[in-house]
Structure 1
Amino acid sequence: MAVTDLAIEKIKGMIVSGALKPGSRLPNEADLADQLGLSRSSLREAVRALTALRILVPKQGDGTYVSGLEPHLLLETMAFAADVSHGRTAHQLLEVRRLLEPQATACAAGLLTEEHLAGLRAILDRCEADIGIEEFIRLDIEFHRIIADSVGNPVLSALLGILSTHTQRLRIVRGAHHAPAREQAHREHEAIWRALVQRDAGLAAGLATVHVAAVEDWLAAGTSSP
């Protein structure tokens, strides 16, 4: 194992064991290097790597801290990878979304409040207006976010948000020729909303599956175009 990787593993071990808790400050560099049996240069490299992963957070003039370790922070690097994904990787991300989103939508059918449903209805009404593609994508993301968040699992919400990012959605809709893709997505959202209003978990899950499968088709059509 490379020295830097060993240093990363040792710091991670301190976090896993509870020796370093979320929000706690790391000992000063010299003391921590001695404690872990590392050179200060190896420790610095490890701290830089863990900072890039949002596990550690530097505070200017106040040292380095363990982050809150919230899912959305730890998954940010995955979000970047999803944002720049193309080809087979983009297809694989959508396959995972197709596995997760129908189940989340089914769970949401029994958990969405009347306020949530009204918020979804307002989004759908706004999508019927003459809005630009950027606004449509923003509303599309918000529609799915409300549904996922109602389940109450922040890891699920973060994963679903990552699996279809703003950049990816915009690329897919543009590749599928704006108007037809938007009209079909809107019809599918309307159908999902009606199933959620009826508290029909099975129907909501089925419609969500069809919806994500359509996105996969748009992506396939877009990537196969000359």
Structure 2
Amino acid sequence: MPVTDEAIDKIKAMIVEGELAPGSRLPREADLAERLGLSRSSLREAVKALSLIRVLDVRQGDGTYVTSLEPDLLLDAIGFVVDFHQDDTVLQFLEVRRVLEPAATELAAIRMTDEEVAGLRAILAELGESPTIEALVANDLRFHNHIAAGSGNKVLCSLIDSLSGPTTRARIWRGLTQEGAVRRTREQHEAICEAIEARQPEVARAWATVHVAGVEQWLRNALGGPESALPPA
């Protein structure tokens, strides 16, 4: 095992075993290196790597701290990476959405409070009769994020949120080019909301699957043609 990887594993072990709690400060570099049997240079590289993925927070002049380790913080790196993928890879993100979002929607139908359900209904009500595609997609993102938060699972919510960005442009292009896409989106959102309001988790899951799969299938068809590339961002 490379020395830096060994150093990373040793620091992670201290966190996992509770020796370093969220928010706690790491010992001085020299002391920690000696304690873990590492060179100061390999320890420094490990700290740099763990800070990039938001496990550690290096504060200039103050020291190095374990972050809060909250899922949304740790999964932030996923959103950063997926922003660089090209159109054909968007299909893979949509495939993952098709797995995760129905599960979140099912949980939301069980766990959402009446107030949260009312908030979901309010999001739908914000759209006018003839919204622009951009307004519809922005509303769509808020709608799905609200449901993900309503699942009560922070990890699931953070994963879904990190996957939203790479699929936004595909959603906009679908709305501009596919006949009836706007109407179907609104109808499916309404069906999902009604299932959640009625506390019908299986129905909510089914509608969420249909909804995400529709975008995925459209993109598969679009990318299969000679003029299928999405317009540049």
CA offsets 1:65-105 (integer angstroms, 9 cap, x no match): 00111111111111222333334532222222212221221
1:61 aligns with 2:74: no
The change in CA–CA distance for 1:36 and 1:71 in structure 2 (over 3 A counts) is: same
The change in CA–CA distance for 1:153 and 1:177 in structure 2 (over 3 A counts) is: closer
The alpha carbon displacement at 1:133 in A equals 4.2
Please provide the CA RMSD for this pair: 2.0
Amino acid at match of 1:171: R
Instruction: Report percent identity of matched pairs.
Output: 50
Amino acid at match of 1:29: E
Partner Cα distance (2:182, 2:126) in 1 = 13
Partner Cα distance (1:98, 1:89) in 2 = 15
The alpha carbon displacement at 1:192 in A equals 1.0
Partner Cα distance (1:141, 1:147) in 2 = 10
5+ residue gaps, structure 1: none
SS of the residue aligned with 1:85? Answer: coil
Q: How does 1:105-144 map to 2 (within 5 A)?
A: 105-128=105-128, 131-144=131-144
Q: How many residues align?
A: 224
SS of the residue aligned with 2:85? Answer: coil
The change in CA–CA distance for 1:80 and 1:219 in structure 2 (over 3 A counts) is: farther
Q: How does 1:55-94 map to 2 (within 5 A)?
A: 55-94=55-94
Partner Cα distance (1:84, 1:130) in 2 = 33
User: Normalising by the residue count of structure 1, what TM-score does the alignment of the two structures yield?
Assistant: 0.89
Partner Cα distance (1:85, 1:210) in 2 = 25
5+ residue gaps, structure 2: none
Contact kept in structure 2, 1:173 and 1:218, CA below 8 Å: no
SS of the residue aligned with 2:142? Answer: helix
Contact kept in structure 1, 2:93 and 2:167, CA below 8 Å: no
SS of the residue aligned with 1:64? Answer: strand
Partner Cα distance (1:141, 1:212) in 2 = 12
The alpha carbon displacement at 1:127 in A equals 2.4
